[in-house]
A = this chain, B = another copy of it.
Amino acid sequence: MEKVYVVGHRNPDTDSISSAIVYAHLKRELGMNAEAVRIGEVQNETAFALEKFGFEAPRFIEKASHDVKHIILVDHNEKQQSVEDIDDVQVIEVIDHHRIANFQTADPLYFRAEPVGCTATILNKLFKENGVDIPANIAGLMLSAIISDSLLFKSPTCTEQDIAAAKELEAIAGVDALEYGLAMLKAGADLSGKTLEDLLTLDAKEFGIGDYKVEIGQINAVDVNEIMVNQGELEDLIYRKIAEKGLDLFLFVVTDILNNDSVALALGSQAGKVEQAFGVPFVNNVGVLKGVVSRKKQVVPVLTEALSK
């Protein structure tokens, strides 16, 4: 039977890796020859979850079209966040919880996006709608994804649906969500062994906003200053990325997972608009974004508004 890849976004987070594994499992139960793959390194937080629930990381691929004709996207829909040869394969399904942009098909497809905090929350519905039971270890991965995306239910992206799904999955997985979740987030915020280049790219996403090319990197930390003390070197690395990719803006967001504020470093020709966008002063390219933890809900819409003027 023809193979179909299920893939999350570049620089995959826990939701992207977990949702690829989980949805591939569901599709196999429904008779599809689906394989979860990834297009980036597994992060510490995700590795913690995979080990806890006994999964191998999905296979790493660079391109899809050599192996398959059809792919399923989870946790993203924007072309520039996906496999580089996405134009050479047919996207037959999308399960996502982000804005929709830079996505186009020639044929109708199954596209399920919902304004919830995590792809796994939608997958939880899809298991029910298809009458398929969720195994305990799959439930554990789904719970991990919700905890990751919601920063343990504290992000403004977290909805009642995410909390309800997490409760169901917690019971199936047989773990304590708060205790396990904090351990997982701390494993993710452990930046020992990471280079500054790693910090910039681990969870970076590129966006087309208005006429501008914008990259937003985000990293969770327990001690923000430990990262920002390297501002000079970070700026050198970011300027190199701006030049290489032709970016109009690079925003590097360091999120404190304990107090839920972020510190942002903005560089590029449109950096001046970031200050206006958030209405806070940026001194020496750096500003404090109080209560901002969500790129999707608190950064991208604000920049979209500011850069579209």
A241 at interface, CB cutoff 8 A = no
Closest to A115 in B: B108
Give the interface segment out of A94-102, A162-170, A188-196, A281-289: A94-102
Chain A residues 97-118 with CB under 8 Å of chain B are 97-116
A296 at interface, CB cutoff 8 A = yes
Copies of this chain, complex-wide, total: 2
Closest to A209 in B: B106
Q: Name the B residues within 8 Å of A116 (CB-CB).
A: 108
Q: Is the CB of B110 within 8 A of A105?
A: no
Chain A residues 294-309 with CB under 8 Å of chain B are 296-297, 300-301, 304-305
A226 at interface, CB cutoff 8 A = no
Q: Is the CB of A296 within 8 A of B108?
A: yes
Smallest CB separation, A30 vs chain B (Å): 14
Q: Is the CB of A112 within 8 A of B115?
A: no
Q: Is the CB of A112 within 8 A of B112?
A: yes
B102, B106, B129, B304: the one within 8 Å of A106 (CB): B304
Chain A residues 105-141 with CB under 8 Å of chain B are 105-116, 125, 129
A305 to B276, CA, bound (A): 44
B103, B104, B110, B115: the one within 8 Å of A110 (CB): B115
Interface centre among A98, A106, A116 (most CB of B within 10 A): A106
Q: Name the B residues within 8 Å of A107 (CB-CB).
A: 99, 115, 297, 301
A82 to B104, CA, bound (A): 17
B102, B106, B113, B304: the one within 8 Å of A301 (CB): B106
Smallest CB separation, A249 vs chain B (Å): 16
A97 to B109, CA, bound (A): 8
Q: Name the B residues within 8 Å of A102 (CB-CB).
A: 104
Smallest CB separation, A63 vs chain B (Å): 20
B99, B106, B111, B300: the one within 8 Å of A113 (CB): B111
Q: Is the CB of A101 within 8 A of B112?
A: no
Smallest CB separation, A31 vs chain B (Å): 14
The 0/1 profile, CB within 8 Å of B marked 1, for residues 19-58 of chain A is 0000000000000000000000000000000000000000
Can you list 24 A-B pairs with a CB-CB distance of less than 8 A? A97-B108, A99-B105, A99-B106, A99-B108, A99-B109, A100-B104, A100-B111, A102-B104, A103-B103, A106-B300, A106-B301, A107-B297, A108-B114, A108-B116, A108-B296, A109-B115, A110-B113, A111-B111, A111-B112, A111-B114, A112-B112, A112-B113, A125-B129, A129-B129
Ranked nearest first, the 9 interchain pairs of A and B with the lowest CB-CB distance are A111-B113, A106-B304, A108-B115, A101-B104, A99-B105, A106-B301, A110-B114, A100-B105, A107-B301
